[in-house]
Amino acid sequence: MEVRQHLFIDFEFTMPDKGKQYKGFYPEIIEVGVVSVINNQIFEEFSSYVTPIQYPKLSKRCKSFLNISQQQVDDGIAFSELVHKLKKMTGEHSYTIVTWGNTDMRVLRSNCEKAGLYFPFSGKEVDLSMEYKRFFGDKNQTGLWKAVQEYGKDGVGSHHRALDDALTTYKIFKLVEKDKQYLQKHEPTTIGDRVDLAKLFNKFA
């Protein structure tokens, strides 16, 4: 049986205070949430805070926006540990990385480059927000929680908690895939079907 693995990933990043200059600043991963799904079943969940390297002290804006404390990131894993863990979660088979937006993978690549570490993934990368946009014909990209609410569902846990957002991404993925399958299987009524149906209605009118 073919093994199909998807990794649903969400990161939270450092951000500067508005109006302040930070020499050499770049967004760094400070929280990670990963949901590993193998053959449509959740196989593993991983969540951790990550200690930033370039600017280890969080800005007030970052702490307030993400509801995160300095102590939490100080006690987090090192970025090198995160890269090792992500690589370990991929296994030996082919896999697909699924994120909401393309920022997560761009920041991960940047952080690996800055730290002198290899990028841990070689699998296919899918930006689910673009898939959602194309599928529903939206002009603008939709936010993660707005997208799940448009389905009449609730997000998982709290927005801007990395694992909760990764689980919410997985939730939307399942909903979109279900809609895609429905459209592929559903054949529109032909003209002949409609005529026959009309005759039937007339017969019993």
Which position has the token pair 């026959």?
196
Backbone angles phi, psi at 185, to 5 degrees: -80, -30
| Choice among 12, 28, 45, 187 that is catalytic | 12
Q: Specify whether 28 is catalytic.
A: no
Q: Specify whether 160 is catalytic.
A: yes
Tell me how far CA of residue 188 lies from CA of 7, 33, 191, 195, 196, in angstroms: 35, 41, 10, 14, 15
Q: Which of 9, 3, 73, 63 is nearest to 38 (CA)?
A: 3
| Choice among 84, 125, 150, 160 that is catalytic | 160
Backbone angles phi, psi at 54, to 5 degrees: -70, -50
Q: What does the chain come to in residues?
A: 205
Catalytic residues: 12, 160
